[in-house]
Amino acid sequence: MKSGRKNSRRSEARKTSVRRILLATGAAIIAPSTAAFAQLDEVVVTARKTEESLQQVPVSVASATGAELEKRSIADLSDLAEATPNITFGQQAQGGRIGGLVFIRGVGQRDSLAVYDPAVGVYIDGVYLGRMNANDLDMLEIERVEVLRGPQGTLFGKNTSGGAVNIVTKRPDTSADAFGGRVMATTGSRDRFDIQGSVNVPLVADTLAFQLSGSRRTQDGYGHRLTDGDDMGDTHRSSLRGQLLFTPTDNFSATLSGDWTTIDEKNASFNLTGVNTNIPPVQALNFFTTETYDERWLSPGPYEYYGGGPNSSRGELWGSSLTLDLDMGWAQLKSISAYREVSIHNDEDPDGSPVNILDQYQQVDQHQVSQELQLTGDSFDNRLNWVLGAYYFHEEAHDNIDYALLTALFGTAVSFSQDNMVENNSYAVFGQGSYNITDKLRLTAGLRYTNDEKIVDFAHYSFPDDVQLLPLLTGKHSSESFSPRVGLDYQWTPDVMTYFSVAQGAKNGGYNGRANAVTDFTEFEDEYVWTYEAGIRTEFLDGVGRFNATGFYSKYKDLQIQITGSTLVGGAPQPFNVITNVPKANIKGGEAELVLAPTEGFLFNAALGLTFAEYTELPTDPTFVASGVINLDSKFMNAPEATFAAGAEYTHDLSSSLEATLRVDYSYRSKIYYNVENTAPLVQDKYGLLNARLSFLHEPSGLTVSVFGTNLTDEYYITGGFDDASTPNPALGFTVVNEGRPREWGVSVQKSF
């Protein structure tokens, strides 16, 4: 991280009562950021494709360094979302635990099926991850993570109508004396044992260096199946990343990266909370067979489950990229070439009993190729900062799901498979510039043109004998879009900047990949949003404090909405899926962020997010209208109206060589609706999570020992689910929820060398 421009200043004002008042009232305001003791460091982000101070960026960004993530006991993307306002990381009960549904400001995607695209883009070192499967990434040797809220279509492209998560890993260091690394071991609750490490090796001084990092995480599950003793929610995964940096001249560098992750775990922790025995298939099962499905299988307590069918969540993902940077003097040219591949197996028993109501087996195989070119520079005596670029993306995915339904009653007569073959091709060119009209007033304008083509081949077979039940269905969705951004910002003083911007984002349309009839294989259109945003960026008391705030108003056109459940066809249950476009919807709210370093060794940060979403015009599609599941008063899913995070950190020298740091963090979420239909079983009431970490650093030896706890108050909360017991048209008769992690403790020992 770059040092702040004010690190050398000292001010007696820090000792005044004004500072103490600000500190006392600061908890009511907000946001994650970075700071050094007694003087805040400058936060550098790449939210606009070039390195800039956070205080100069007219975009709502939450940024955290790898060191901060470790201090907050954040191990993966889902933990980060829990601690960052206006972002949620939910789970789909039948979508496996490897992936997650990321929502920013109430906008995301409900279903991780390969035919659907996310509304929040996840990027690693500039490489877009095309699938939501396997996006719950481990935070391994991270330089920083940036959460960009609001549409980022101009610079990041389609499928960022909600925002983007930009993950930047640490680069190798070619300095002759840069050999070094670290090893860390962690033990804790439920036989947890993690080992991770990294090493930087300069191969040729100032020219060639190699960095290798890896981790192995293991932990028993926090959920248990009472039928067979299987764990649920365990952790067994390994990750490896290597980077080779070549800098033959002062103006050129090449970085070759590769990463690999393997996962072999059980499913997420489920809880069966509802059974509906008043539907024909369940009534027939209970009457005609020796098996009984009723309230006896309800989970007797938290983290307990009677499911007895398949229970595994396995996967392998890997990728490589080559990044070339050339400084041509008048401009900098960057090329990012990447290939990624994902293979996921997700097998589960969501009905919560040893009786087969539904067993599900999913296999997802995907690979993607992407190429991006960026040209950045300054013109007109540095009054104009600009970026031009071109982008290409190609993806092929195969998503197959086998459904075993009520086999004791029907045998395999109603069991079936849904098979989706998806090919995506996207081309884009973009440009954005910021021009200093005066020394204080700056105009930003940008535009991206995108041409997309999505081809879906859909097949419907019987299971397990693979007899074709529907003719092969093929859909081709093509679209063009323009994603503009225009904004003005004004630097009132060196410490105060305000801005206003207007930006448009878009999200790909496609076809219903869960069709059960030819007429269900319907096309849905692209989603568009215009977002109006105003913000302020401030530092005060000579860099002791930082306060940033943003307000936004978003107008959605053709907002994609999906309703899933089951219906009865000839007395047999069939999954029910409608995906269509809501003509109009509005979302308004904001974020505010506060960071204070009032005394040597003390740091306080707080963040608040507000989101208020409403449908303003509903679809007139007959199938959608017939479902009758939402109205203009319905709440958006994964869109809590208030989210809050606060943390305090104190570092004290115990001796000339021993340092102690105490960190306490609290995060809060107001009520969350986990399905579009807003059914009561999938509503999570407001809750808060408390984490703490105490670390001791012995500088001469490079040894750090930490003791930490997460969810210290042992709050019970859910992170998603599936409800087919209380929906308007139930057919399977059960409600299952995903459970968040209970209280955990751990001890870490790290050795740096």
Distances (CA, A) of 663 to 71, 319, 708, 709, 732: 7, 35, 9, 11, 47
Choice among 100-109, 204-213, 641-650 with the minimum mean pLDDT:
100-109
pLDDT tens for each residue of 684-728: 999 999 999 999 999 999 999 999 999 999 999 999 999 989 887
Residue that has been written with the tokens 């764990």 in this structure: 231
For residue 749, what are its two tokens?
A: 């020992």
92: closest CA among 71, 74, 73, 108?
Answer: 108
Interval 580-589 mean pLDDT: 95
Confidence class of residue 14 from pLDDT cuts 50, 70 and 90?
very low
Interval 528-539 mean pLDDT: 96
Alpha-carbon distance of 377 to 117, in angstroms, equals 33
Residues 154, 482: contact at Cβ < 8 Å? no
Confidence class of residue 204 from pLDDT cuts 50, 70 and 90?
very high
- Assess whether pLDDT exceeds 80 at residue 27: no
CA dihedral 47, 53, 56, 60 (to 10 degrees): 40
Confidence class of residue 263 from pLDDT cuts 50, 70 and 90?
very high
DSSP 46-59: -TTSS-EEGGG--S
Interval 598-619 mean pLDDT: 94
Residue that has been written with the tokens 């307990």 in this structure: 304
Alpha-carbon distance of 310 to 287, in angstroms, equals 26
Choice among 9-18, 92-101, 387-396 with the minimum mean pLDDT:
9-18
Query: Kind and range of the H or E element at 82?
Result: helix 77-82
Choice among 450-459, 567-576, 636-645, 736-745 with the minimum mean pLDDT:
567-576
- Does the residue 532 lie in any domain? yes
pLDDT at 97: 61
- Does the residue 6 lie in any domain? no
- Does the residue 2 lie in any domain? no
Residue that has been written with the tokens 């000792």 in this structure: 15
- Assess whether pLDDT exceeds 80 at residue 625: no
- Assess whether pLDDT exceeds 90 at residue 42: no
Confidence class of residue 21 from pLDDT cuts 50, 70 and 90?
very low
- Assess whether pLDDT exceeds 70 at residue 468: yes
pLDDT at 91: 67
Domain with residue 502: its CATH number is 2.40.170.20
- Does the residue 4 lie in any domain? no
pLDDT at 213: 96
Alpha-carbon distance of 644 to 169, in angstroms, equals 27
Q: Which amino acid is residue 5, in one-letter code?
A: R
Q: Which residues pair with 144 in a beta bridge?
A: 65, 168
Q: Which runs of E-coded beta strand occur in 250-307?
A: 252-265, 270-275, 304-305
Alpha-carbon distance of 3 to 565, in angstroms, equals 53
For residue 237, what are its two tokens?
A: 């995964």
DSSP 594-632: EEE--STTEEEEEEEEEEEEEEEE----HHHHHH----T
Q: Tell me the pLDDT of the chain averaged across its residues.
A: 90
Range of the domain at 360: 12-752
- Does the residue 3 lie in any domain? no
426: closest CA among 130, 651, 83, 196?
Answer: 130
Interval 336-340 mean pLDDT: 98
pLDDT at 93: 53
- Does the residue 150 lie in any domain? yes
Choice among 30-39, 241-250, 275-284 with the minimum mean pLDDT:
30-39
Distance from the Cα of residue 179 to its chain's centroid = 33
pLDDT at 9: 35
249 or 13: which leads in pLDDT: 249
- Assess whether pLDDT exceeds 50 at residue 7: no
Alpha-carbon distance of 503 to 126, in angstroms, equals 21
Q: How many CA atoms lie within 13 A of 207 on its CB side?
A: 5
Alpha-carbon distance of 131 to 100, in angstroms, equals 10
For residue 242, what are its two tokens?
A: 């290597």
Alpha-carbon distance of 542 to 23, in angstroms, equals 15
pLDDT tens for each residue of 205-249: 999 999 999 999 999 999 999 999 999 999 999 999 999 999 999
Choice among 33-42, 231-240, 619-628 with the minimum mean pLDDT:
33-42
- Does the residue 206 lie in any domain? yes
- Assess whether pLDDT exceeds 60 at residue 19: no
Choice among 31-40, 115-124, 229-238, 281-290 with the minimum mean pLDDT:
31-40
Residues 151, 483: contact at Cβ < 8 Å? yes
What percentage of residues in the chain have a pLDDT greater than 90?
76
Alpha-carbon distance of 694 to 319, in angstroms, equals 36
pLDDT at 23: 37
**What's the number of domains the chain is made of?**
1
pLDDT at 98: 65
- Assess whether pLDDT exceeds 50 at residue 119: yes
- Does the residue 113 lie in any domain? yes
- Assess whether pLDDT exceeds 70 at residue 359: yes
Count the neighbouring beta carbons within 10 Å of the beta carbon of residue 461. 18
- Assess whether pLDDT exceeds 80 at residue 95: no
pLDDT tens for each residue of 302-320: 999 999 999 999 999 999 9
pLDDT at 20: 39
Alpha-carbon distance of 85 to 61, in angstroms, equals 11
Alpha-carbon distance of 477 to 579, in angstroms, equals 15
pLDDT tens for each residue of 362-392: 999 999 999 999 999 999 999 999 999 999 9
